[in-house]
Structure 1
Amino acid sequence: MSGAIVSIFMLTYNQEKCIKQTIESILMQQTNFPFQLVIGEDCSTDATREICEKYASDYGIKIKLLPSPEKNIGLIANYRRTIAACDGKYIAICDGDDYWIDKYKLQKQVDFLDKNPDFSIVYTAVKRLYEDGKIIDYTYKLNKKELDFDDLIFDNFIYSVTALFRNIQGRNKTLPSWIENFPFGDWQTYLWILKDGGKIHFMNDITAVYRMNIGVSSKYMKENSVFIGVLIGILSCIYKDENFSHKKEIVALSLLNKQKDLVTCYNREKMYVKGFQLFLDIFKKTKNKFEWIKFYFYSVYKSFV
């Protein structure tokens, strides 16, 4: 046990150009509690590992380095082993290409969760950093005072670099193995934490910078149909998972919404055969067949307009 109140969970691979900035942004945190940075370094082919090793050597137990011993194991395998090594009361995420800009980020978020035991996750606004150097403030907040599983199941509105959440791993509630089938794991992690209760709090501060259009999962987001297909796969696994059985109705509704989105994307991308095949699959199962027919043909029509 590290004795840390917060474990900061970081994945890194071939990020020598930005990893120093990322680590320094965590070490600058001013808190009245101990925290530990846990780095999952996945056999980088550049100087990333050497940089991480130097920081781990200089800062002792404040940094726990988990190097992949022989070969690159991939983002999600690295995700699961790194989060499993986080033993703090709370977990924060900061990937190796993002960074924090508020030195009181952890203190403010821990103070909130300590005072509000009915909340399990707190997140903030963020700055988006684009490849051309442009930085834009970004806030995504639903028009509700209280958010929970039933909101997050429809859309992951939490930027991982801003999140702090309760660590429930000590209760024999490790993440499900099916998470390894997908190119990212943060959304599934939040849903796992919230499935038995707990609310989400939005803190209206800008605490971090998120680099746009880089990283392993970014390639899945460039084509809407591919990205939505990944989300459908995740929702399908959640629907089948016995641990979410009490949430089946809301998961099924989200799954149907994403399938409708995928039909629309296929039609917009002129992949009409795929769109029609998905339409038929859902048509066989849906009770409201007339509404589904209307939706499909309107989607086809809009793809030509």
Structure 2
Amino acid sequence: MIKEKEAYNNSNIMVSIFILTYNQEHYIAQTIESILNQKTNFSFQLVIGEDCSSDRTRAVCEKFAGNYGNKIKLLPSPEKNIGLIANYIRTIKECDGRYIAICDGDDYWIDPLKLQKQVDFLENNLDYSIVHTALKFLYPNGDLDVFSAPDNLYYNEFKDLIYSNFIFSVTVLFRNIQFNEPLPQWLEQYSYGDWPTYLWTIKDGGKIHYIEDITAVYRKNIGISYKLKDWYSDDLNIRKNILSDVHFNKHTEIISKCIFEKECGLFLAYNRDKKLKEAFKLFIQLLKKEKGKLSLTKLYLHSLKKAF
């Protein structure tokens, strides 16, 4: 690895790896080192969005940036903590590469050929826009589990990803379309940005490929993202924003179908949790716009009966 101090140069960057970090002084060095250890026949950069940490995270990042100035773009520290999504948006805007990879400040890569394999695939398969891989889960007690991919994960597209985010960000590489098509402004109101970014990337086409190789480790049950609440509500509202966004007009039918099914799932969950008023209110809203009123009513009554 190059250790000389060099001025940052953004020319001919193939991959930008963006790291979001906040109060992760115990993990961030391992994260950065695992990326610097990548073996590639192309240039890549690390773009680090450090969000005004109260521990030594910033100092660790500054030390790496001082030693690897040719590879690391450390963004200025905000005057105060700006939060996950604001940090996400400012950091992804600074990615100069043809492709973007993500590695959060408490995760790390274990395959030194991760980027090379993924870039080779996307360079040779222009009908694909996203590639992701297998990974391991690391638990607080030190246990490691290998993620077992379902059979339907190997080749996917927009109609699959709109239903659920099956891509672990620590494993992903995707085409950088942000230069010409900046992320939509409605993204700023949510608590995370990776899944909407993937959907934005493939809104005009582009398939998703899964590689079986284990390339990364994702820490489970720790960190900022683990503490976020209202994931289900955010997922549903993101889909509603996508539905009303003209850039996604070609997917209107599948988005509408997905929203309806997710809202049905929500009133089922409300009844299961004895939140009967919320369930009834949502049921009435769906009843007004759904053609299959009889089947919807049967579903609601069945879930209500099971609640008692």
For the aligned pair, the TM-score class normalised by the smaller chain equals over 0.9
1:247 aligned partner, one-letter code? H
Letter in 2 for 1:272: L
1:30 maps to: 39
| Greater mean alpha carbon deviation, residues 293-302 or residues 189-198 | 293-302
2:225 to 213, 217, 224: 217
Deviation at 1:146, TM superposition (A): 2.9
Query: Superposition RMSD on alpha carbons, in Å?
Result: 1.4
Look up the SS of the partner of 1:254 in the other structure: helix
SS class of match (1:30): coil
Asked if 2 retains the 8 angstrom alpha-carbon contact of 1:2 and 1:36, the reply is no
Tell me if 1:296 matches 2:300.
yes
In structure 1, list runs of 5 or more residues that go unmatched.
none
Name the SS of the counterpart of 2:234 in structure 1.
helix
TM-score by length of 1: 0.94
1:184 aligns with 2:159: no
1:151 aligns with 2:155: no
CA distance in 2, matches of 1:141, 1:91: 25
Cα deviation for residue 283 of structure 1 reads 1.0
Are 1:2 and 1:61, in contact at CA under 8 Å, matched by a contact in 2?
no
Q: Distance in 2 between matches of 1:252 and 1:215?
A: 33
With normalisation by structure 2, the TM-score equals 0.94
CA shift for structure 1 position 110? 0.5
SS of match in other structure, 1:61? coil
Distance in 1, matches of 2:28 and 2:240, equals 35
The percentage of aligned residue pairs carrying the same residue is 57
Aligned match for 1:48, one of 34, 43, 57: 57
Q: CA deviation at 1:144?
A: 6.5
Question: CA distance change for structure 1 residues 274 and 25 in 2, over 3 Å: closer, same or farther?
Answer: same
Q: Secondary structure at the match of 2:156?
A: coil
1:287 and 2:291 matched? yes
Q: Does 1:230 align with 2:234?
A: yes
Amino acid aligned to 1:13 = Y
Task: Give the conservation status (yes or no) of the 8 Å contact 2:162–2:199.
Answer: yes
The alpha carbon displacement at 1:303 in A equals: 3.6
2:22 is the counterpart of 1:13: yes
Distance 1:130 1:216 in 2: 15
The count of aligned residue pairs is: 299
Aligned to 1:256: 260
113, 116, 124: which one pairs with 1:107?
116
Distance change (3 Å), C-alpha of 1:182 and 1:197: same
SS of the counterpart of 1:88?
coil
2:91 aligns to what? Answer: 82
**Could you tell me which amino acid in structure 2 is paired with residue 275 of structure 1?**
A
